């Protein structure tokens, strides 16, 4: 499903963000990427959704070499991937419903179908009663659930999350993880970058550990 072969990423000369990374994540897996700050967790995720290109090496996602993906085709990859960020990246000039609907609008889906799917997704995540609210009026946990709803509403085959519980309390963090477990149980591959070891231990899933851009453990299932 996701394979990395000898991937290197340099942001500046002689300062590697990732070094000779080899990785395999099968379809339907649930994986944590851990490591201290600057270990390369976020860089790895950025490579997977093609925000960054590897300096060398190959990355296969769903059989497609995204290291050679032209810029004009990146949107096709991102339509198969849901992305969740620590800072939620919600638009303050749109309400909850509109924020989630954005992911379907870009696909050119009919308005009625968008409404149906957004409603069902918000209901599934338990925030349907807030669908007319401005995201800034919600708690951190609620905002993150809106961001997850946006990431999942177009039914991606992979969900990437970069520090999704950062800034959330233990209860809200666990609730987010429960959502991810549920998504994974429905067949979506989930990759979560975090340094919250408590969550990692509680979930008991596969762990990929990075240190200074190098893989330490967990390269294969």
Partner 1 sequence: MNRLFSSIERAIKNLRQNWLTSSITIGIISICLFLVGGYLFMTHNLQGVFETWKTQVRVTIYLRDGFQEEDILAFQDRLSSLSEVHSVTYTSKSKALEEFGVMLGNDRFLIDGLDRNPLPASLRITPRDPYRNLDGVKTILGAIGDDPLVQDIQYGQDWLDRLDRLFYVLDFGAVVLGLTLSLAAVFIISNTIKITVMARKDELEIMRFVGATESFIRLPFLVEGVIQGMAGAALSLGLLGGVHALLAGRSDQPLLKMLNIEALAFLPHSAIGAILLGGMVLGGLGSLASVGKHSR
Residues interacting with partner 1, by CB under 8 A?
49, 51, 71-72, 74-79, 83, 89, 91, 93, 102-103, 105-108, 150, 154
What's the rounded Cα separation, in Å, for the pair 58 and 110?
A: 37
> How buried is residue 149: exposed, middle or buried, by Cβ count under 10 Å (0-12/13-18/19+)?
buried
- Kindly tell me which of 73 and 201 has the beta carbon lying closer to partner 1: 73
3-class secondary-structure state, position 65? strand
- Kindly tell me which of 141 and 156 has the beta carbon lying closer to partner 1: 156
CA atoms within a 13 Å half-sphere pointing along the CA-CB vector of 113: 9
- Kindly tell me which of 108 and 221 has the beta carbon lying closer to partner 1: 108
CB of 91 vs partner 1, minimal distance in Å = 6
Query: Which H or E run contains 157?
Result: none
Q: Are 63 and 81 in contact (CB under 8 A)?
A: no
CB of 12 vs partner 1, minimal distance in Å = 20
CB of 78 vs partner 1, minimal distance in Å = 4
| Tokens 């099968």 belong to residue | 26
> Which is nearest to 6 in space by CA: 70, 65, 54?
54
Distant-in-sequence, close-in-space partners of 39: CB < 8 Å, separation ≥ 6: 210, 211, 212, 213
- Kindly tell me which of 142 and 162 has the beta carbon lying closer to partner 1: 162
> Which is nearest to 196 in space by CA: 149, 157, 162?
162
- Kindly tell me which of 79 and 214 has the beta carbon lying closer to partner 1: 79
- Kindly tell me which of 4 and 152 has the beta carbon lying closer to partner 1: 152
CA triplet 208, 73, 220: central angle to 5 degrees? Answer: 15
CB of 197 vs partner 1, minimal distance in Å = 27
CB of 135 vs partner 1, minimal distance in Å = 12
CB of 134 vs partner 1, minimal distance in Å = 13
């Amino acid at each position: 499903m996701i394979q990395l072969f000898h991937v290197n990423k340099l942001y500046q000369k002689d300062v590697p963000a990732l070094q000779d990374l080899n990785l395999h994540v099968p379809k339907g897996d649930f994986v944590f990427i851990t490591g201290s700050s600057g270990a390369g967790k976020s860089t790895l995720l950025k490579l997977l959704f093609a925000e960054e290109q590897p300096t060398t090496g190959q990355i296969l996602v769903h059989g497609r070499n995204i290291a050679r993906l032209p810029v004009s085709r990146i949107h096709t990859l991102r339509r198969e991937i849901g992305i969740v960020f620590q800072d939620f990246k919600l638009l303050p000039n749109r309400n909850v419903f509109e924020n989630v609907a954005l992911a379907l609008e870009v696909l050119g889906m009919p308005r009625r179908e968008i409404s149906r799917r957004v409603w069902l997704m918000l209901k599934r995540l338990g925030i349907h009663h807030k669908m007319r609210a401005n995201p800034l009026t919600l708690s951190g946990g609620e905002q993150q659930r809106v961001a997850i709803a946006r990431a999942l509403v177009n039914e991606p085959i992979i969900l990437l999350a970069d520090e999704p519980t950062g800034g959330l309390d233990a209860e809200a963090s666990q609730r987010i993880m429960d959502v991810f477990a549920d998504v994974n149980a429905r067949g979506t591959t989930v990759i979560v970058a975090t340094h919250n070891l408590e969550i990692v231990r509680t979930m008991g899933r596969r762990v990929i550990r990075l240190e200074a851009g190098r893989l330490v453990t967990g390269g294969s299932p």
